[in-house]
Structure 1
C-alpha cells in the first residue's frame, strides 16, 4: 500500500537539539581554559563508569575536566600548526582518540601523576570486556543463594541442583578464562557472586604547559593481577545476601526498612549489640481508687564512644546465624 503524504511524524518533545551554538560554546570554553590554567593533561579512561568519574571531578574541584566529542575539542585546540590556538597545541589535539579527555589544572605534574596512579576502583565486569583472570568455582553447596535462584543459575550455565533445599554446585566450574571475551552470562555470574574483575582507572597520556612545551608521558606502572582465582564461599557475603533479601521483603510488605540499614548490617557483622529491650512503668492504680504517676526511672549510663574489638570468626558467625533465625521466626509470627 502506498504511503500517505499526510502521514507525517509530529514530535511532541520540548527539548532542543544541540546544534552549532552548543559546539561553538564548547570551543570558546576550551580556549578560555587554555588561557586560565597552566597545564593541560591528556587522559584516557578505562572501564568507564559515570559514578567514579563524578568522584574524580569532585576531588579536582579547582580544575576543569572536558570529556566529550574529540573532534570538537581538537577543533578548539587546532588540528594543524597553522590553525592551533597556542604553540604546540596541535600535538595534543592529534592524540585525542577513543575515550580521551582534557584536564585543565594549575597543579604540578607530580601531583597529577601521583593521584591517578593510585586511583583505581574495582567494579563488576561487563559483557564484551577481556577477561583479566581465569575465575573458578569450587564444587559444593552455595548457601548464599536461595532455592528460588537455582533455575536462574542453571540457565546461566552452572551445573547446579537442589540438595535438601540448598543450591549445590555438582562439580568445579570455570566461569571464564584469561584473555577471552566476557559473555553476558559470565558477567552475570560474576556479579551474582560479588566478584569485581574490572577496574576503573585513568591514565595520563601527555602534558602541555603554558610555555608551549608538549611532553608525552610513558606508560605508567600497572598493578600485578593474579592470572587465576577461585571464588570461595564467604560467610560475610552470606550474611550480606540475607540482609538484602530482608530489605526486599520489607519493601514488598510496605514496612519501615530503616532498621535494615547499612549501619545495622555493620553492627551485626561485628557482633555488636547497640539496642536494648526494656519496659518502663508509667503509673499504678490501686483497688482503693488511688492513682499514682511514677516518675522517670534512672537510665543506665551509656558510653558515648566504643571500640569494637576483634572477635573469633566462628563465634561471630554463630551469633549472626542465631540472630537471623530469631528474626526469621519473628517475621513468620508477624505474618
Structure 2
C-alpha cells in the first residue's frame, strides 16, 4: 500500500533525566527536615494513586512533609547526619522494608520430579512477590503529628480503585450466561457489546439486550490480570485495587530510639495457588461420565 500523506502530529517533548543537582537538592531537603521536625516515619504505599496521595499531602502540609525518591538515596541522606547516630538503625528500614526469603534450600538428594514441582511452585510465588514489591512505594514523612494522628490521616485516604495490568486479582469474578449486568446489577448498554466482545467476553445482541453466550470467568483470585481483564473489570465496575498507606518504622528525635510497627499487611492472607499435581490432573475426568472414560490402567 502507498504511504499515507496525511499530516501526523509528532511530539517533540522529552523527559529530562533526574540529574545530580536534583539528587543533591533532595538530600539537602531531607537533612534540613531532620533538624526541623521532631519525628520521622517510614511508610509503605500500596497501589499508588497520584491524586489521592497529593490530597493527603495537602491535608497535612502544615504539619508534615513527605519524601518519595530512591530508597538508597533517602537512606544515604539520613546516614549523612553524623550528629544523629540513632538514625542509622532507622535508615535501614527504608531499604529493608519487607522481609525476603531465600530459596537456596534445595536438597541434592533423590526425587528429581518432586524437586522440580517444588521449584516451579517457589518460582510462581517469587514472581508474585516481586510484583508486589514493584507495586509498593516506600517513602519517609517528617511530621509534628503523633503516630496515632498520622495513622488516622492515612487511613482516612484509603480508597478503592480499578486494578491495573499485572496486578494480582484479589477475588474470582464470573460473568454468568444470560443478560450481562455490572456489579450494581444494572444491564449493560447495547453500545458496549462490541467492546465487551473485543476484550474476550462471548456476547451477542438479542433485541437490544447484551447477552453472554457462555459463562465466562473474567479473572481468578491469585492470577495476574491482563489488559483485557482490566478493561472488563472497569466496565463491570469492580475495583480490586486499594490505595493504602502503612507505617513501617518511626524515629523520635527526643529519645533517639527507633520503633518498628506491626501492620496488618505483614500478616496478609497467603493466596492458595494450588499444586502442580492438581494442574496435571485437571484433564483426568474433564467432566465426562464414567461410561465414556477409559478403564484404569489404559493411560
Q: For the superposition of Structure 1 and Structure 2, which TM-score range results when normalised by the shorter chain? A: 0.5 to 0.7
Partners of 1:113 and 1:150 lie apart in 2 by 44
Partners of 1:224 and 1:96 lie apart in 2 by 21
Counterpart residue number, 1:104:
142
Counterpart residue number, 1:90:
88
Offset at residue 59 of structure 1 (A): 1.5
For structure 2, the residue ranges without an aligned partner over 5 or more in a row are 1-11, 96-135, 182-186, 272-299
In structure 2, relative to structure 1, the CA distance for the partners of 1:151 and 1:13 (3 Å cut) is closer
In structure 2, relative to structure 1, the CA distance for the partners of 1:78 and 1:223 (3 Å cut) is closer
Counterpart residue number, 1:326:
none
Partners of 1:184 and 1:17 lie apart in 2 by 29
- Check conservation: 1:84, 1:90, Cα contact below 8 A: no
1:73 counterpart = 2:56: no
Offset at residue 167 of structure 1 (A): 1.3
1:151 counterpart = 2:194: yes
Q: Give per-residue Cα distances to partners, 1:143-200, cap 9 Å, x unaligned.
A: 7444343232112111211101221112332211111111111111000112111100
- Check conservation: 1:135, 1:174, Cα contact below 8 A: yes
- Check conservation: 2:41, 2:249, Cα contact below 8 A: yes
Counterpart residue number, 1:215:
259
Counterpart residue number, 2:244:
201
In structure 2, relative to structure 1, the CA distance for the partners of 1:140 and 1:223 (3 Å cut) is farther
Q: Which has the higher contact order (CA 8 A, sep 6+)?
A: 2
Offset at residue 69 of structure 1 (A): 1.6
Q: Give per-residue Cα distances to partners, 1:214-271, cap 9 Å, x unaligned.
A: 111112379999x9xxxxxxxxxxxxxxxxxxxxxxxxxxxxxxxxxxxxxxxxxxxx
Taking structure 1 as the reference length, the TM-score comes to 0.58
Q: Give per-residue Cα distances to partners, 1:33-77, cap 9 Å, x unaligned.
A: 001101101001100111111111111112100011222211110
Partners of 1:141 and 1:190 lie apart in 2 by 17
In structure 2, relative to structure 1, the CA distance for the partners of 1:18 and 1:180 (3 Å cut) is closer
Partners of 1:129 and 1:16 lie apart in 2 by 28
Counterpart residue number, 1:164:
207
For structure 1, the residue ranges without an aligned partner over 5 or more in a row are 1-11, 228-335
Offset at residue 118 of structure 1 (A): 4.5
Partners of 2:221 and 2:229 lie apart in 1 by 13
* Larger-gyration structure (1/2): 1
- Check conservation: 1:78, 1:84, Cα contact below 8 A: yes
- Check conservation: 1:117, 1:220, Cα contact below 8 A: no
1:126 counterpart = 2:164: yes
**Number of residues of Structure 1 aligned to a counterpart in Structure 2:** 212
Counterpart residue number, 1:40:
40
In structure 2, relative to structure 1, the CA distance for the partners of 1:73 and 1:222 (3 Å cut) is closer
- Check conservation: 1:124, 1:196, Cα contact below 8 A: yes
Tell me how large the CA RMSD over aligned residues is: 2.7
1:24 counterpart = 2:18: no
Counterpart residue number, 1:283:
none
Q: Give per-residue Cα distances to partners, 1:8-30, cap 9 Å, x unaligned.
A: xxxx8798754222221111111
Taking structure 2 as the reference length, the TM-score comes to 0.64
Query: Does 110-119 or 155-164 show the bigger shift?
Result: 110-119
Partners of 1:176 and 1:50 lie apart in 2 by 26
Offset at residue 132 of structure 1 (A): 0.7
In structure 2, relative to structure 1, the CA distance for the partners of 1:35 and 1:172 (3 Å cut) is same
Partners of 1:133 and 1:166 lie apart in 2 by 27
